[in-house]
Structure 1
């Protein structure tokens, strides 16, 4: 499925069929016939945004012909599963980024996410099993007068930018730089709520782990800890290369965009840099929390073993005395003593009490 927006200056040919707008405000309309795109771009005074959802080979071949796209870029868009990158093909740039979407197919059970009983239709790409979000690849073909966004499933973040641009387009003089910035900025900003939710969960998890050291952490808490570490790693693997790609856009050496527009890409780069720095910090926090928890558990285990060892030694001496006087030898002087039995009991109790006092003073018990 594809849809196309065309915006052009209001001062168009009065004989043309396109409507006119007041002043210098660009006129925006949806294009029904995609085969007209090449003619519109040839005029040189219009810009096109084409959004492609679940592209078929026929649709990719069509946009390749209409926009004169490089075959290698089309091949990457068809295969999906690309890493974030920015590649230059003559007068066109091919960019891969990832959009994030909350996973509606999971429900929270205790402290972990489990699959809901009534699952929504599965997503074709971007599925991260056991995580509260999806990652979806978005391919961008960027030209001086066109922008193509291609993704496997409908994305609310793209739809929001589409509706906003249709009602409030940017200046035609900026070409596709402004709309490219808006798309990238909206995609990156969607990561912040997800990261905030992960941060809250990390703080709650830390508190639960350290309060449950004495009685042991629940399996759900440990599962949640390792799941969060995996989530942060997945986000880091996406945002790291994506930061490098946006940095290339912000260097002001791309001839497609007006220099004034490239300053906006620096803002997107700052947002991604803040996300990646936060991910690194929270990964360290989780690692430190796990190491601290394991240290406390190990220390607690040592305390328990010390107590059990002390109790064992306390009963070892009385057991030794009972074993000696329980031997079946006839010539044992203590067996003929009138107070032999009370003497043995007193000796056993006294040794146990003495060892108890000794260990108590050393705080082993």
Structure 2
């Protein structure tokens, strides 16, 4: 157990992250980063009480919770920071829509992180974020590190994050989630281009199941992007105690990025609809060709069937039955009729 201290006097030089403790906090369920313009430090913990012992009263504190299974620990952390019980319910309920809510002492964000697993499966993860005056708390649905870029910038004093307040940190975290949307959309765009090549292949039986899967994924992305777009548009109107005026240009840029994501999703959905129409047209055209051939064959056999039916009647007094050349003449007549019909169809360009 690490010794409890108020604020470790540890500086960080570029390229040299500092871990207070023996483990990498990025691999644990509970981690904390404290920083100010002059230094930064990173701490892992096994329990909430151990984590809360590390405070950063003179700078910014970022607490990250990996996984939501330990509801008791989350409730304990919420009580310590004065987070409303309804907010805790929203954090634990991973089916929430993206939104932004303002409380007396904090802003509450719900986001949906997107990433692609090695099995080429699109995964949706809920991320909750609580922004206070000098503290940011993030709650991740599953263990992972989608904020690795932000961590590196803090620890290596890259960019402006160490020079700005907690609202800029919250902006950076939300921006990293939105940036992941573009990576996912790039991958989906490549798949859609592949579907355009597959659309004319009538023998591709996996085409429709595969493209329907992409269509459903785009619908899910649309359902999380549009609420986020609406929520971010509300940020400039919220209390200046949480969102400072100098953050305005960054919020506008973030909102523009989300609008771009939303427009890209709509464009991809239209492309998918167009590709499906092309495939259906190709299948319909192929079916028409098959039906045309079958119709021609059936039409050829109509007069032949009539002739065979007439001479298949069991009447004794049929003069043609006694004629020596009746059989070959009948065959010859049927062949001439079939050839004549084929020439007629060819002349009319029916095949």
TM range, smaller chain = 0.7 to 0.9
Does 1:354 pair with 2:340? yes
Deviates more, 1:317-326 or 1:189-198: 317-326
Alpha-carbon offset, residue 179 of structure 1:
0.8
Quickly say closer, same or farther: Cα 1:172–1:161, change in 2 above 3 A. Answer: closer
Separation in 2, partners of 1:5, 1:217: 56
Alpha-carbon offset, residue 356 of structure 1:
0.9
TM-score, normalised via structure 1 length:
0.79
Paired residues for 1:232-271 under 5 Å: 232-251=218-237, 254-271=240-257
Alpha-carbon offset, residue 29 of structure 1:
2.6
Give ranges in structure 1 of 5+ residues lacking alignment.
9-24, 107-112, 114-131
Deviates more, 1:339-348 or 1:133-142: 339-348
Paired residues for 1:1-365 under 5 Å: 1-8=29-36, 25-30=37-42, 33-36=50-53, 40-41=56-57, 45-55=58-68, 56-104=70-118, 106=119, 132-168=121-157, 170=160, 174-210=164-200, 212=201, 216-251=202-237, 254-365=240-351
Matched position secondary structure for 2:292: helix
Quickly say closer, same or farther: Cα 1:333–1:288, change in 2 above 3 A. Answer: same
Separation in 2, partners of 1:54, 1:337: 96
Alpha-carbon offset, residue 251 of structure 1:
4.9
Separation in 2, partners of 1:30, 1:207: 50
Cα RMSD, aligned residues only: 2.3
Separation in 1, partners of 2:162, 2:311: 106
Alpha-carbon offset, residue 30 of structure 1:
3.5
Is the contact between residue 6 and residue 49 of structure 1 (CA under 8 Å) also seen in structure 2?
yes
Separation in 1, partners of 2:132, 2:80: 12
TM-score, normalised via structure 2 length:
0.82
Separation in 2, partners of 1:248, 1:313: 70
Matched position secondary structure for 1:328: coil
Deviates more, 1:83-92 or 1:156-165: 156-165
Give ranges in structure 2 of 5+ residues lacking alignment.
1-28, 45-49
Separation in 2, partners of 1:254, 1:306: 72
Is the contact between residue 4 and residue 50 of structure 1 (CA under 8 Å) also seen in structure 2?
yes
Alpha-carbon offset, residue 250 of structure 1:
4.5
Deviates more, 1:48-57 or 1:279-288: 48-57
Alpha-carbon offset, residue 254 of structure 1:
4.4
Separation in 1, partners of 2:127, 2:330: 85
Is the contact between residue 171 and residue 251 of structure 2 (CA under 8 Å) also seen in structure 1?
yes
Task: Tell me which residue corresponds to 1:17.
Answer: none
Alpha-carbon offset, residue 230 of structure 1:
1.2
Alpha-carbon offset, residue 144 of structure 1:
1.8
Aligned length: 316
Separation in 1, partners of 2:296, 2:221: 50
Matched position secondary structure for 2:206: helix
Alpha-carbon offset, residue 196 of structure 1:
1.0
Separation in 2, partners of 1:217, 1:236: 31
Separation in 1, partners of 2:327, 2:89: 95
Is the contact between residue 175 and residue 257 of structure 1 (CA under 8 Å) also seen in structure 2?
no
